[in-house]
Amino acid sequence: MKIIIKILLLIVLIVSSIFVITRSSNSEIKIGVITPLTEGAAYWGESTLVGIKMAEKELLTEGIKVQFIYEDGQLDPGVALNAAQKLVNIDHVSIIYSEFNPASIAVSSFLENKNVFHLYDSAAMSPLSKGPYNFKTYLDYQDSCADVSKYIKENRGIKRVGVLKMNIEHGELCLKGIQDVFGLENVFVESYNPGITDYRSLINKIKNKNIDAIFHASFQPETLASLRQLDELGINALFIGLAETITPDVAKEYSNLIMDDIFFGLPMIENDLVQRIDVANGDKSVADYNAAALGYLHMLQLGRALDNCNQDNECIAEYLLKSDPVESVGFRGFKDRVAKFDNRIVQFTKDNFVEVK
């Protein structure tokens, strides 16, 4: 009889252990990351990963263990969608952090009515309409393009502008900001589809409108292609682009093409955080410190939110909305599910960027 009781107790202990292990495994904090790791924007995704790994180590010191699962979005909505399906259906992540316009829109559409929190890093605003658990980070493109338009109008005497506009949401948002400042009659638009990098005919059409400046706020490959073609065509109009596309290696190679041109973007990262990022990257600089800083900032926020909220999305949303400002990255908090940052406007002069506003 005693032997039978001992055997039963042993079975109970084994079953309990299996239950505890299974419950622990199922409740493990998992965050999926969809970012470009190949193709033209890989420099951004690789920098993001450095920041996320910094956050992972810091969370671990706080007793918060997070499993990050990385997927390559390639700036392709179809690839990003497949990545999101895998992260949700196979990896069972609690949160997805996606980067860039194509991914954020595809992922938010897929996640609609699914119990997965989504923080996306892109200019797009439309994903916010897909549900209360979509949060946005990065610049407000409409406001930023209006801000830089005001600057060049008031300080550079610009009256008529041309716009190379990619036919995705960030292009529409930027165009509206430009038109708000210059008026429809002084803005001349030439549109193109994603994947196009030969703008010579479009540039010539814009040139014939006697413009004073050309906007092209796009991804890095598209921006660099337009800079080369403007030079080939002998067009010296003021160029306005996105600061994050001009990484240090690009600034060195293209210095003669961007001299005195204007760029806008996220705030400068404080030196202390820059140094910490370098250390985390094996004492080497990263291609884009803003990407690393955003990855670091938001993974800390999300990891702590998940730990605090036991994977309750409403609680996570409330937790993020109460986030304190972080001066080292210029983060001002979330408002209406949108991260707020000061817009930085710089001019490239003497092989360096100088803040002008």
Q: Using one digit for the tens of pLDDT, what is the confidence trace for 263-299?
A: 999 999 999 999 999 999 999 999 999 999 999 999 9
pLDDT band at 40 (very low <50, low <70, confident <90, very high): confident
Helical residues (DSSP H) of 208-346, grouped into ranges: 220-232, 248-253, 255-258, 271-280, 289-309, 313-321
Mean pLDDT of 226-240: 96
Q: Which residues touch 104 (CB under 8 Å, ≥6 apart)?
A: 98, 120, 121, 122, 124, 127, 136
List residues bridging with 33 in a β-sheet: 70, 97
At residue 311 the predicted structure's pLDDT band, cuts being 50, 70 and 90, is: confident
In a domain? residue 261: yes
CA distance 55 to 303: 9
Residue 26: pLDDT over 70: no
Structural domain boundaries, residue 186: 141-265+344-355
Closest CA to 263 of 182, 183, 346: 346
Q: What is the CATH number of the domain that holds 309?
A: 3.40.50.2300
350 plus 239 within the same structural domain: yes
Confidence of residue 3 (pLDDT cuts 50, 70, 90): low
CA distances from 126 to 24, 105, 315 (A): 36, 7, 23
Give pLDDT tens digits for 58-73: 999 999 999 999 999 9
Residue 331 falls within a domain, yes or no?
A: no
C-alpha 68/C-alpha 33 separation (Å) is 7
What is the distance between the alpha carbons of residues 246 and 33, in angstroms, rounded to a whole number? 24
Burial (CB count <10 Å: 0-12, 13-18, 19+), residue 64:
middle
Q: Pick from 352, 357, 353, 322: which is nearest to 342 by CA?
A: 357
228 shares a domain with 108: no
Q: In this structure, are 114 and 200 located in the same domain?
A: no
Q: Are residues 110 and 171 in the same domain?
A: no
CA distances from 74 to 103, 141, 190, 241 (A): 9, 21, 25, 22
Flag whether 335 is in a domain: no
Do 240 and 253 share a domain, yes or no? Answer: yes
357 burial type by CB count under 10 A (0-12 exposed, 13-18 middle, 19+ buried): middle
In a domain, 212, yes or no: yes
pLDDT score recorded for residue 27 = 53
The mean pLDDT value for 106-133 works out to: 96
For residue 88, give the nearest of 131, 129, 126, 32 by alpha carbon. 32
pTM of the model: 0.89
On whether both 186 and 252 belong to a single domain, the answer is: yes
Work out the end-to-end distance of the chain between its first and last CA atoms, rounded to an integer number of angstroms: 85
Shared-domain flag, residues 168 and 251: yes
Same domain, 155 and 111: no
Residue 91 has pLDDT above 80, yes or no: yes
The rounded percent of the chain whose pLDDT value lies above 90 is 89
